[in-house]
Structure formats: C-alpha cells, structure tokens
Structure 1
C-alpha cells in the first residue's frame, strides 16, 4: 500500500497547555481528505533543509481531531530539536508539510484490567487510550512529567487510577517510571499493558513486563519515543537494532 502524499497544513493556533507541553492546532485546505478517527495515530512533520537536501522528519501523535483541525501536543525539553523549537515558536498562519497518518497504536481492550505507562512524549497517546477504554475499565496510568505543573486533567474511566511521577532530569541510569509501576498492586486477571517512554526506561519496563510478569505479546505494547542525549535519527537506528536483538531472544 502506497504511503499517503504529504500535505501542507496551516497553524491555526498554538498555546501552552502546561509549562512543558505546547499544543499546536493544524488545519487548512490540506486537511480536507485527512481520514476520520485518527486520534492516537502518528504523523510525520517535515522540516526543509538547506541545499534541497532530504527534509528532517519528526514523529508526533494526533492527540485530538475535529472536522477541520487536528491537535498535536509537543513535550518541550531544555535541549530542543527542530520539532520542539518549531512548536515553541509556531504562530497562526505558518505552514508545515505533514506526512501520514500512520497506524493507530491502542491498548488491547480485551483484558480484565489495564496499565498504561509513559513519560511526557507519550502523554498525548496515553490520553487517547484512556479516553477510549470501556466505562467499567479498572487499572492504572503511570505518567512521568517534568514538574507538578505539567500534570493534566485526563478523561478516563472512574476506576482507572492516575499516578504521577515527577522527573525533572531524565537520564540513562534511573527509571522512576519502573519503580512506580513495580510499587502498584498487581490486580487479578489478565492485564493489558501499553507503555512508551525514553529508550532506557522502555528497556527496563520491557524486561519487567515480559520476564517478571510474563505478559503475552497479545497484551503488551511497548515502544521508545526518544533516547536521552540522542537525536531522533540516532534513536531510530538504535531502536531498530534493539528490536532486531529482541527478536533473537
């Protein structure tokens, strides 16, 4: 199946929803044939480069969709890449080329209870996942954010508990996300897990879910969205190598 042709979208609005999360609303004529029901799907933002070299592509989640607009939430870091820098400075009327959407990544709803875990880069996707769970869903969402002011009010079933983890300085050696997950009471029945975060944290969580809790592949989605001290291009290479190694184990 051919990939969708990138479309030119226009910035309709840009605002901070927390100190370290900025929401950019995209729309315009280029959105006219954008597929429906794409919340949690990924898109590719294309940034032109000098001398007509290949544009930089950065991957983000559709956090909300309306007939005439989509919202994209950007987690902002001190060490800014081209996408977060663009988002911080985005103003209505600016345009950007957008590829996709790619496949939606949703938690397996055929489970007795649910566990979602991630850092701020995964918060948009986790928000969509929480909102689409059945009303009687029970379980946990463990969310790592930079400051207490980055905590958000989320649409969720009443029996899904939210646990916030504050981590102002993510690094390769500590995994507060895993420590909070391990402290949760493991409920009875078959869980479904959805997790996405920094590369080192992802590997620690993956070991816990696959080896310690022995979750089947059918009920475990886990991915790294970035790697500390790496560009997205470097992260993609390491992510691919890690996936190949994991298949051999």
Structure 2
C-alpha cells in the first residue's frame, strides 16, 4: 500500500538522544528525543512520519547511515548485523523546540521497537530521517473520516492537534484496553469513537472495521484517512468504495503492519 505522500523539500539523517521515557496509558510508551541536529528537521504537523533508527540489544553504540537519500537503505543492508541498527517507521506525536515525542504501541511479544521503547533511558541514542506526511485532505471537503488501530493512534491524535477549528470529522480509534482511552482536545465538529478491545488476543483492527461498517455516517462527499493493521486499511477502503460508493481517490489507506508477521530488518 503506497499512499500519496508530501515529501520534505530537504532532509538529512538526524542523530538524537533519549530525553525521557513516559507511559501515557498502559499499552503505550512515549519516547522524547532531542539534540542539536533536530534543528535540521522541519516540523510538518499532522501525520509526519520518520524512519526511526535505534540500536539492537548488545550494540555499544548506534551507527547511523551517512547518505541523505534513498541510498541509505543499501548502506544499512550492507552493514553486518553486529553493527546494523533496527529501522522502523513512526509518526512524530508532538514537536517542541529542541524535542520530539514518538509514541509506541506495546504489542505483545518481543518486537524490536516495543522492546527498545520499554528499556530506553535518558542518554540512549536514536536517529530519524524525515518521510513527510500522507494526510492530504483536499480543500473544501465538508467532512472527514479518520480510522485507526493503536498503531495509528499517534498519527490521528497529531492530526487532531493540528486540525482547523471548523473541522467536521468522525474518528474511530481502536485501542487494546479501556485504560488506553484518553481525553482528546478536538474541534467541536469532531466526534471521537473510542473502541477498546474487550477480549485478550482479539485481532487488532477487527473492531474498528466492524464499527465502521455499522456506523451511520454523514452523507455527501468526504475524505477518509485509514491506517493500522493491513486488513483494517484494505478492508475499510473496500467497504467505503464498494458498499458506500466513495471514490477511490477520496480514501487514503496505509497498512502499517501485518498481524502475525514481523517486519524485516
């Protein structure tokens, strides 16, 4: 699933360090990163994504790629695993002067990013490479639909943080537990539907998709941004286009991950 993306005009590899590790709710960790190189990252708001580089267990230091173009991928793959960093895509949850927050959903198991987020401490090294934004609603659209599981929660909350005061939207957010439901500051025209999963082991994304299918949505043209587990993203787009008559061009969908399948690295 390759969505339309607005890339930054310029970008470079940015080396940072962990400033803080906090838990906004039981299933999430927020890692605050900072450093002098952060001046080279231009905050874009909304769902601004980055490649996040972090060390593997046992590595004494983080070795970042040196190339500031897509050639960095080959550079990383040519590194022996003893020196190769982990690389994952994440959304910048918040930006402040000299700091960014990246929020991690703590999936079950020993996934590299979640494991690193659990153990990261102040002074640990990490790095980012700007990827741009995929939330690109057209001007004048009457209302919007935002749908995601826990992996898309940071992006959707960041979108709402930057939303105009006149935004009208229906938002469906699936999270692992009731304890992950949070207060959200959003424009008056935004309705947030929190969807905590009721049973342990329930497949992520299924509740959000079922809730979308059953929802009584406003009529008229709209823009949808859907992200999370791959079956949620593709299923939501299929439902909107086939069952509700939406244009494919009005649905941005991103499969962040696949249930039961580890990311390569």
Give your verdict on TM over 0.5: yes
Alignment of 1:40-119 (within 5 A): 40-48=47-55, 52-53=80-81, 54-98=84-128, 100-110=129-139, 111-119=141-149
Of the structure 1 ranges 158-167 and 52-61, higher mean CA displacement relative to structure 2 is found in 52-61
Deviation of 1:17 after TM superposition, in Å, equals 0.2
Correspondence 1:158 to 2:188: yes
Residue 38 of structure 1 deviates from its aligned partner by 4.4
Residue in structure 1 matching 2:37, options 19, 30, 36: 30
Q: Secondary structure at the match of 2:132?
A: coil
Q: Superposed, which structure 2 residues align to 1:138-157 within 5 Å?
A: 138-157=168-187
Which consecutive residues of structure 1, in runs of 5 or more, have no partner in the other structure? 235-249
Question: Normalization by structure 1: what TM-score?
Answer: 0.85
Contact map agreement 2:149 2:228 (CA 8 A) in 1: yes
The equivalent position to 1:136 in structure 2, one of 141, 159, 166, is 166
Residues in 2 aligned to 1:233 and 1:122: alpha-carbon distance in whole angstroms: 20
Higher helix share: 1
**Could you say which residue in structure 2 is the equivalent of 1:198?**
229
2:18 counterpart of 1:11: yes
Backbone CA RMSD of aligned residues: 2.3
Q: Using the alignment, how far apart are the partners of 2:254 and 2:42 within structure 1?
A: 24
Aligned to 1:239: none
Q: Does 1:121 pair with 2:151?
A: yes
Under a length normalisation based on structure 2, what TM-score does the superposition of the two structures give? 0.80
Of the structure 1 ranges 56-65 and 36-45, higher mean CA displacement relative to structure 2 is found in: 36-45
Report the count of equivalent residues: 232
Determine if the alignment matches structure 1 residue 171 to structure 2 residue 200: no
Q: Verify the 8 A CA contact 1:118 1:142 in the aligned structure 2.
A: yes
3-state SS, counterpart of residue 114 of structure 2: helix
Contact 1:39 1:65 in 2 (8 A): no
Task: Give the SS at the match of 2:17.
Answer: strand
Cα deviation, residue 233, structure 1? 2.2
- Measure how far apart 1:223 and its partner are: 0.8
Gaps of 5+ in 2: 1-6, 60-78
Matching of residues 199-218 of structure 1 within 5 Å: 199-218=230-249
Q: CA deviation at 1:178?
A: 1.4
Bigger drift between 40-49 and 218-227 goes to 40-49
Cα distance change, pair 222–205 in 1 and its aligned pair in 2 (3 A): same
Structure 1, residues 105-141: CA drift from partner, whole Å, max 9, x if none? 2241531111100011101110122233332222310
Q: Which has the higher contact order (CA 8 A, sep 6+)?
A: 2
